[in-house]
């Protein structure tokens, strides 16, 4: 991770993609992982078909040999899109997954609010 100035948002090595690109990837089979809190999802809405993951349990939920692994996570090169309320939440998760060995992980510019505002699938 790098940062250009104290006021700038952090820049992560994991690709930052537009909500439209994220929705297209989702439509083509990408797994969308929502790392927002349950309260945030209840307040702002959800992405139908997304997977709720705990940002504090990434090893247990993502490592392929973990007995607690999310059933939807099957390959190191799987197309995975991380969504949070902003890139400050999704960026670190995407970065950690890349460091663990996942090769096709991106996160959404503007987070869930941008996803919803772009008309991508969402519900209350």
pLDDT single digits (tens) 7-49: 455 667 899 999 999 999 999 999 999 999 999 999 999 999 9
Backbone angles phi, psi at 12, to 5 degrees: -105, 155
Give the residue numbers marked as catalytic: 84
d(CA 81, CA 39): 21
User: For the domain 16-117, what is the CATH superfamily, name and number?
Assistant: Rhodanese-like domain (3.40.250.10)
Q: Could you report the per-residue pLDDT of 57-82, keeping only the tens digit for each?
A: 999 999 999 999 999 999 999 999 99
Burial class, 119, CB count within 10 angstroms (exposed 0-12 / middle 13-18 / buried 19+): exposed
């Amino acid at each position: 991770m790098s940062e250009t100035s104290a006021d700038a948002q952090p820049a992560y090595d994991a690709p930052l993609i537009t909500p439209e690109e994220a929705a297209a990837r989702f439509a083509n089979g990408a797994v969308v992982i929502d790392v927002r809190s349950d309260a945030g999802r209840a307040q702002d809405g959800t992405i139908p078909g997304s997977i709720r993951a705990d940002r504090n349990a990434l090893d247990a939920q993502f490592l392929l040999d973990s007995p607690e692994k999310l059933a939807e996570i099957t390959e190191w090169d799987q197309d995975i899109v991380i969504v949070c309320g902003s890139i400050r939440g999704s960026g670190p998760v995407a970065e950690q997954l890349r460091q663990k060995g996942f090769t096709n992980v991106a996160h959404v510019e503007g987070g869930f609010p941008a996803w919803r505002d772009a008309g991508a699938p969402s519900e209350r």
